[in-house]
Amino acid sequence: MPRTVLHADMNNCYASIEMLHHPRLRGHPVAVGGSAEERHGIILARNYEARPFGVKVGQALWQARQLCPDLVIVPPDYDKYMRFSKMFRDILGSYSPLVEPFGLDESWVDISQSLQGRTGGEVADEIRERVKFELGITVSVGVSFNKIFAKLGSDMKKPDATTVITEDNFRETVWGLPAADLLGVGRSTQKKLQMYNIKTIGDIARLGADQLQTWFGKWGLYLYAYAAGLDSSPVREIGDESAVKSVGNSTTCPRDLENDEDAHIVFLNLAESVAERMRELGLQAKTVQISLRQNDLYWFERQTGLERPTFIATELCGAAMKLLRANYDWRKPLRSVGIRGTNLIPIDAPYQLMLFEDEEKRLKSERIEYALDDIRRRFGHHSVNRGLLLLDRKLGRLDAKADNTIHPVGYL
Amino acid sequence: MDEKTQKLMENDCKVYVAVNADITAEGQVLPRSFVWEDGVRYEIDRVLDVRRAASLKAGGAGLRYTVKIQGRERYLWLEDDGGGRWFMERRA
């Protein structure tokens, strides 16, 4: 018996919420973007009026203004977006307990067991009407027999539309779409596919699992399953998302970073907040990842395993700096950097002591970090700081924890 | 924020009002009267309907009360912004 999976996507979420609250904005090209003063200058969302001008999510504010001089840029209000996100999920949750959020503005819902004689399309239409009436925001819904096609469907018709992809029609509706539309096909996969002249989702499916595995390894098998409609990954229940897979933080710096010392200040700052959050969650990381964005916006990530798991800021920062030194030559300044602890295990998991390391000293570092948490909880984040952060007050001043980036956890 | 953006973000259709309400033993909140921005207090004769709804006109969302005031039906919102404020739509 095929499943009925919905993927619901709030259209232009942040921009729509702002337009709801500020009626005068309606009819104008509007974008939500980070404050230009701190140079967090990218477009986070834009409305349909801004689209014909070529304004896109991720563009620098100055770029967007160049394309659309009348663009109204509104600063983001994450508290408001979180509230709407929760109300949105509450509505979805009234149809099925199986709701899996993907970022703030998208969720999958498995309604196979709660159709009560209705079709998936009918339920999707009702959800759209309810969200529009109760939250004042339009939603696109994809209905299909797996999560991948449901997500694809919600992207096909926008705004305020339902797209149904069935086992009978997916070859006609999906296979003609560009390969890049498939969830999981990022920039580098797309490049590689292009090299092999694979243009559409149908091309991927027709290639077969064996060939894809030869080219992409294990990832190739996923790609094949996604394209051929064989994805069987379940919609996880609400609450499951608290099974945290990584804790990370990134920031666009108040000025471009030019050398290791600059990066050290920012990494330490970010590592402190990451370490603090890991301790809050009772987790420690076995792997550290860094992400680097140059001032020409070229972006890449590097990661390394740790000799032993840690929740100590200086150790996370040390690993990040080691990665940076090994992978970056400062030919171009860095615009933004991020650090993430992944491969998380509980803090109290047993671990192998090191023969040539001073255990006593390490335990002391742990105690210092807990003491820092306590002081900050009682007197505020900036009541105590590392001396290094004073070297450059502008770079050191970021309150990294309050500046968390909000983005979906990885699909896999 | 520049002046133009500020102007566009002003909202003169949304009027926050002070509300007197009863809370029933079941925890239901029932507004009984409110004070309009000119200081006049209006009695609510009846609450006709309560449901979640957005106000496109005033800009906001929350629990919408359909109330009868001096024989006329009006909407009164308990806003969903964590602040627990009540608002109404200004009529053009």
* A345-to-A246, A279, A357 alpha-carbon distances in Å: 10, 11, 22
Task: Confirm or reject contact between B49 and chain A (CB < 8 A).
Answer: no
* Arithmetic mean of pLDDT, A370-374: 86
More confident residue, A184 or B38: B38
Query: Domain spans of chain A?
Result: 1-168, 175-235, 244-396
CATH fold group of domain A244-396: Dna Ligase; domain 1 (3.30.1490)
**Cβ distance of A72 and B80 shorter than 8 Å:** no
What DSSP letter does each residue of B23-71 carry, written as one string?
A: E-TT--EEEEEEE-TTS-EEE--EEEEEEEEEETTTTEEEEEEEEEETT
**Residue from A20, A28, A74 to probe the interface with B (highest B Cβ count within 10 Å):** A20
Question: Which of the four pLDDT bands, split at 50, 70 and 90, describes residue A406?
Answer: very low
Which residue on chain B is closest to A135 by alpha carbon?
B54
In the block, which residue shows the tokens 């999958």? A108
Cα–Cα distance list, A67 to A42, A54, A55, A73 (Å): 14, 7, 7, 13
Work out the pLDDT band at A405, boundaries 50, 70, 90.
very low
Residue A172's SS3 state is helix
| Cβ separation B80–A22 shorter than 8 A | no
Residue A355's pLDDT band (boundaries 50, 70, 90)?
A: confident
A288-A293-A298-A299 Cα dihedral, nearest 10 degrees? 20
Check: CATH 3.40.1410.10 for A1-168?
no
CB-CB: which of B9, B53, B81 is closest to A22? B9
More confident position, A15 or A299: A15
Q: What is the pLDDT, as a whole number, of residue A278?
A: 86
Which residues in chain A are closer than 8 Å to B9, comparing Cβ atoms?
22, 24-25, 74
A10: Cβ–Cβ under 8 A, 6 or more apart, which residues?
A16, A84, A88, A105, A106, A131, A137, A138, A139
Between CA A102 and CA A23 the distance in angstroms is 28
Q: Which residues of A touch B7 (CB under 8 A)?
A: 24
Residue among A49, A100, A106, A315 flagged as catalytic:
A106
Strands (E), A13-112: 30-33, 43-46, 72-74, 99-101, 106-110
For chain A, what's the residue count? Answer: 412
Of how many residues is chain B composed? 92
- Of A4-13, A165-174, A176-185, A393-402, the range with the lowest mean pLDDT is A393-402
Q: Look up A307 and say whether it is catalytic.
A: no
Confidence at residue A147, expressed as pLDDT on a 0 to 100 scale: 96
The reply to whether residue B13 touches residue A23, judged by beta carbons under 8 angstroms, is yes
d(CA B32, CA B42): 9
Interface of A with B in 25-64 (CB under 8 A): 25, 28
Q: What is the pLDDT of residue A362?
A: 84
Q: What pLDDT, in 10s, does the model give residues A192-250?
A: 999 999 999 999 999 999 999 999 888 899 999 999 999 999 998 755 444 577 888 88
Check CB contact of B11 with chain A, cutoff 8 Å.
yes
The predicted model scores a pTM of: 0.72
The answer to whether the CB atoms of B56 and A72 lie below 8 A apart is no
Is A80 at the interface with chain B, CB within 8 A? yes
Is A20–B10 a contact, with Cβ atoms under 8 angstroms apart? Answer: no
Provide the shortest C-alpha distance from residue A24 to chain B (in Å): 5
Chain CA centroid to CA B29, Å? 13
Residue ranges covered by each domain of chain B: 3-89
What pLDDT score was predicted for residue A39?
60
* Overall fold of domain A175-235: DNA polymerase; domain 1 (1.10.150)
